[in-house]
C-alpha cells in the first residue's frame, strides 16, 4: 500500500514529484513549537509527550475494556472457546521448545491423528516470543495479556505511522484510536491473530518508502518489508492476504495516477520487492513448507466462508455498537456476517466526514484524494464478497467472484477486509487534520471526534471462558497418568465450548497427556474440521452421559473395537459429567478397566 504524500508538488507538466517534505514525520517539525522559554522539565515533557501520551491512553482504554479479565487474570481467558485455542498453542510451543519437539506439529491434541500447527491460529511467532512469560505465569494469563496488548500495539503502530506520513501528532492519535479500538476490534476482540494487527500500518509505511519516497536504499527497505511480511506470516497469514490484495490495488491506482513517475521508480521498487520476498522466505519458508507439505496438511485448504459485509452494515450499527437501535440490530441479523464478524460499521457521520475531507483535498488538487478514493472503494468491494447484499437483499455479484478462483483465496473471510478499510479511514482522517491549523484544526478535531462517538462499543469485553479445573488436573494427583498417555476426558461434547473446556484442563497439566478430541482446525480425511473426530467408544460414552440409559450389548460390541484402535490409556470421568455412574459402568464394560476415585475424578485405566 503506497500513496503520494501530502507534501508532493506538481510540476508544469502535471507530474507529481517527490519533495523533501514527504518525510516531515522524520522529526516533530510538524508539531507546534513549545513556548519560547520553557523550563528544562517542561521542554522535555513537551518533546516526549507525542511519543508517550497516545500509547499510554491506548493502554488505559484497553485496560478498561478488558477489566473483567484483568481483575482475575488466572481464572479464565478472553475470547471464550477461541481464546482457549490460543492458550493451548502457547502452551504447546513452550513445551515443544522445552522438550525439543517439532513445534509445527502436535499429537497432544486430536490424538492419535494430531494437528498441523501452521493450519491453525497459533500466532506462532508471538507464542515463541512469549515462551518465558508462558513458563512464568501460564498460557492462559499470557494469552489474556496479549489480547489486552493487541489493540494497544495496533493503535500505537498506526499512530506512529500516520504521524510520520502526515507530520502531525494530534490527528494521527485520534485516527489511530479508530484503527485499534473501532468496530473491527469490537467484533474481533477475542481473536488474537486478527487484533494484533501491526502489519497493515507497517506495510503502508514501507510501501510509501519503497514506491513513493525512495530516499533509502531499496535493500534496506526490502529487508524491513520482508521481515514484516515473514513475521506476519507466522502471526496470521490471513492478515497478509488481506493487506497484500489491497496493496496490489493501491499500487495499481498509484501508477495510474502518476504514469510519468513509473519508469524512473520501477527499478528501485523491483529491487526492494525482490529483497523483501527473499527475506520473507528466509523467515517463514520452513514453517510454510511444513504447513502445505508436512504431516496433517490440509490438501484442499480451508473451505469457503459465507461471512461477507452487507453494504448497509457500513451505516447500520449491529449489536456490537452502544447506540444501535432495536431495528438496526434486528436488520443486522439478516446480514451475511454473523454478530462477531459484523465489523464494517462506520456510521453516516464518519462516512460524510471522510467524503468531505476527500472532496476538499480534490478541490486542493491533491492526487492523494483520488488514490484514497479508488483504494477504499475497491477494498469495500472486496469485503462485500459475492453475491453483494444491500440491507439483506442480494443485488448481484462482486469482484470476489473472480478473485476467489485464485489459489488459496477461496477460504478468505472477506468481511475481514474491514480491517484495511478501517486503516484507510484512519489515514484520511489524519491526513485531513494534518492540513489544518489554528481554529480550523480545533473545529476539525471536534467534527472528527463527534463522528467517532457513534462507534462506541456496546460493552466491555467479557466473553471469558472459565479456566477453573477439577483438582485432579491442578495437583499432584494427575501423576496417576504417566507422561504421554492417551486420554479421553468427560464430560466432552463435540461443540466448541465443551471441547475447549477440556483443553483448558489439559493446559493446567502442561500437556502431560495426549487428548482424544479437541477444538481447533483438524484434517479429517482431507477435509477441514473444527471439532476433532471422535472414536466410536467416545460417542457411546457421550450418549450414555446425555441419556443415562445403558447401552445394548450390540452397541457395546460395535464400540469395543474402537478402544484398541484409538490407543486410549485412560478415561477420566469428572464430577461435572451427568449420569456419571452410568458412564463409569459403561466405560468398564467397554474396556475391562477397574474404575477408581483419584482426587475428585474417577479414573479408568485401560489395560
Q: 486 pairs with which residues across the strands?
A: 514
Mean pLDDT of 81-95: 96
Shared domain for 535 and 594, answered yes or no, is yes
> What pLDDT is attached to residue 94?
98
Q: Kindly state whether residue 598 falls inside one of the protein's structural domains.
A: yes
**Last residue in a domain, options 455, 483, 500:** 455
Closest by CA position to 463, among listed 144, 139, 236, 87 = 144
Residue 526 pLDDT exceeds 50: yes
Mean pLDDT of 519-544: 93
**Last residue in a domain, options 426, 455, 484:** 455
Q: Please report, in angstroms and rounded to a whole number, the separation of the first and last CA atoms in the chain.
A: 61
- pLDDT class for 12, splitting at 50, 70, 90? very low
- At 111-125, the pLDDT tens digits run 999 999 999 999 999
Shared domain for 448 and 475, answered yes or no, is no
Shared domain for 430 and 530, answered yes or no, is no
Residue 533 exposed, middle or buried by CB count within 10 Å (0-12, 13-18, 19+)? middle
Task: Output the pTM of the full model.
Answer: 0.90
Shared domain for 330 and 193, answered yes or no, is yes
Shared domain for 450 and 590, answered yes or no, is no
Shared domain for 58 and 188, answered yes or no, is yes
- At 266-324, the pLDDT tens digits run 999 999 999 999 999 999 999 999 999 999 999 888 888 889 999 999 999 999 999 99
Shared domain for 440 and 537, answered yes or no, is no
Q: Give the 3-state secondary structure of residue 519.
A: strand
- Residue 414 and residue 420: Cα distance in Å, rounded? 11
Residue 8 pLDDT exceeds 60: no
Contacts of residue 567, defined as CB under 8 A and 6 or more positions apart, other chains included, come to 111, 112, 486
Q: Kindly state whether residue 45 falls inside one of the protein's structural domains.
A: no
Other Cβ atoms closer than 10 A to 42 = 12
Shared domain for 438 and 511, answered yes or no, is no
Residue 362 pLDDT exceeds 70: yes
- At 433-474, the pLDDT tens digits run 999 999 999 999 999 999 999 999 998 887 888 888 999 999
Residue 477 exposed, middle or buried by CB count within 10 Å (0-12, 13-18, 19+)? middle
Mean pLDDT of 478-490: 97
356 close to 362: Cβ distance less than 8 angstroms = no
**Last residue in a domain, options 430, 455, 480:** 455
Domain that holds residue 485: 468-605
> What pLDDT is attached to residue 33?
44
Q: Kindly state whether residue 560 falls inside one of the protein's structural domains.
A: yes
Shared domain for 251 and 179, answered yes or no, is yes
The structural domain count of the chain equals 2
Residue with cell 500505537: 156
Closest by CA position to 448, among listed 435, 466, 462 = 435
Shared domain for 282 and 390, answered yes or no, is yes
- At 535-569, the pLDDT tens digits run 999 999 999 999 999 999 999 999 999 999 999 99
Amino acid at each position: 500500500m503506497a500513496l503520494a504524500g501530502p507534501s508532493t508538488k506538481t510540476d508544469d507538466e502535471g507530474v507529481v514529484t517527490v519533495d523533501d517534505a514527504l518525510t516531515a514525520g522524520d522529526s516533530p517539525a510538524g508539531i507546534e513549537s513549545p513556548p519560547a522559554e520553557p523550563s528544562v522539565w517542561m521542554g522535555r515533557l513537551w518533546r516526549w509527550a507525542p511519543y508517550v501520551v497516545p500509547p499510554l491512553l491506548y493502554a488505559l482504554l484497553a485496560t478498561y475494556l478488558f477489566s473483567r479479565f484483568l481483575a482475575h487474570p488466572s481464572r479464565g481467558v478472553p475470547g471464550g472457546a477461541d481464546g482457549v485455542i490460543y492458550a493451548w498453542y502457547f502452551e504447546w510451543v513452550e513445551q515443544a521448545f522445552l522438550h525439543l519437539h517439532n513445534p509445527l506439529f502436535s499429537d497432544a491434541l486430536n490424538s492419535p491423528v494430531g494437528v498441523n500447527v501452521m493450519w491453525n491460529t497459533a500466532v506462532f511467532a508471538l507464542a515463541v516470543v512469549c515462551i518465558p512469560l508462558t513458563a512464568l505465569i501460564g498460557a492462559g494469563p499470557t494469552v489474556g495479556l496479549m489480547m489486552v496488548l493487541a489493540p494497544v500495539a495496533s493503535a500505537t503502530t498506526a499512530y506512529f505511522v500516520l504521524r510520520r506520513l502526515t507530520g502531525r501528532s494530534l490527528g494521527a492519535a485520534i485516527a489511530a484510536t479508530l484503527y485499534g479500538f473501532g468496530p473491527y476490534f469490537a467484533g474481533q476482540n477475542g481473536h488474537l491473530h486478527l487484533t494484533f494487527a501491526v502489519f497493515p500500518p507497517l506495510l503502508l509505511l514501507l510501501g510509501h518508502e519503497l514506491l513513493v519516497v525512495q530516499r533509502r536504499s531499496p535493500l534496506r527497505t526490502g529487508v524491513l518489508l520482508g521481515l514484516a511480511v515473514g513475521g506476519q506470516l507466522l502471526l496470521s497469514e490471513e492478515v497478509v492476504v488481506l493487506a497484500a490484495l489491497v496493496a496490489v490495488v493501491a499500487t495499481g491506482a498509484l501508477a495510474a495516477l502518476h504514469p510519468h513517475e513509473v519508469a524512473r521508480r520501477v527499478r528501485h521498487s523491483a529491487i526492494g520487492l525482490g529483497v523483501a520476498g527473499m527475506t520473507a522466505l528466509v523467515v517463514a519458508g520452513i514453517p510454510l513448507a511444513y504447513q502445505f507439505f508436512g504431516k496433517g496438511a490440509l490438501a484442499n485448504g480451508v473451505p469457503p466462508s459465507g461471512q461477507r459485509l452487507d453494504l448497509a452494515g457500513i451505516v447500520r450499527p449491529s449489536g456490537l455498537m452502544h447506540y444501535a437501535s432495536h431495528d438496526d440490530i434486528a436488520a443486522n441479523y439478516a446480514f451475511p456476517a454473523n454478530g462477531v464478524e459484523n465489523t464494517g460499521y462506520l456510521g453516516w457521520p464518519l462516512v460524510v466526514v471522510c467524503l468531505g475531507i476527500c472532496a476538499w483535498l480534490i478541490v486542493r488538487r491533491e492526487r492523494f484524494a483520488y488514490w484514497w478514493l479508488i483504494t477504499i472503494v475497491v477494498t469495500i468491494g472486496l469485503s462485500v464478497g459475492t453475491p453483494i447484499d444491500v440491507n439483506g437483499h442480494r443485488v448481484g455479484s462482486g469482484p470476489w467472484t473472480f478473485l476467489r478462483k485464485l489459489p488459496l483465496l477461496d477460504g478468505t473471510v472477506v468481511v475481514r477486509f474491514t480491517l484495511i478499510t478501517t486503516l484507510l479511514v484512519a489515514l484520511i482522517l489524519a491526513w485531513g487534520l494534518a492540513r489544518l491549523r489554528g481554529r480550523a484544526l480545533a473545529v476539525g478535531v471536534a467534527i472528527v471526534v463527534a463522528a467517532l462517538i457513534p462507534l462506541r462499543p456496546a460493552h466491555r469485553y467479557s466473553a471469558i471462558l472459565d479456566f477453573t479445573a477439577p483438582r485432579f488436573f491442578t495437583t499432584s494427583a494427575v501423576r496417576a497418568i504417566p507422561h504421554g498417555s492417551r486420554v479421553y476426558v468427560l464430560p466432552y461434547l463435540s461443540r466448541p465450548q465443551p471441547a475447549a473446556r477440556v483443553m483448558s484442563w489439559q493446559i493446567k497439566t502442561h500437556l502431560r497427556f495426549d487428548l482424544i478430541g479437541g477444538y481447533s482446525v483438524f484434517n479429517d480425511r482431507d477435509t477441514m474440521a473444527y471439532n476433532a473426530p471422535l472414536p466410536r467408544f467416545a460417542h457411546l460414552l457421550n450418549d450414555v452421559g446425555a441419556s443415562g440409559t445403558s447401552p445394548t450389548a450390540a452397541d457395546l460390541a460395535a464400540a469395543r473395537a474402537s478402544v484398541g484402535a484409538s490407543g486410549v490409556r485412560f478415561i477420566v470421568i469428572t464430577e461435572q459429567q451427568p449420569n456419571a455412574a452410568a458412564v463409569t459402568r459403561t466405560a468398564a464394560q467397554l474396556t475391562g478397566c477397574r474404575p477408581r476415585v483419584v482426587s475428585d475424578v474417577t479414573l479408568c485405566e485401560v489395560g
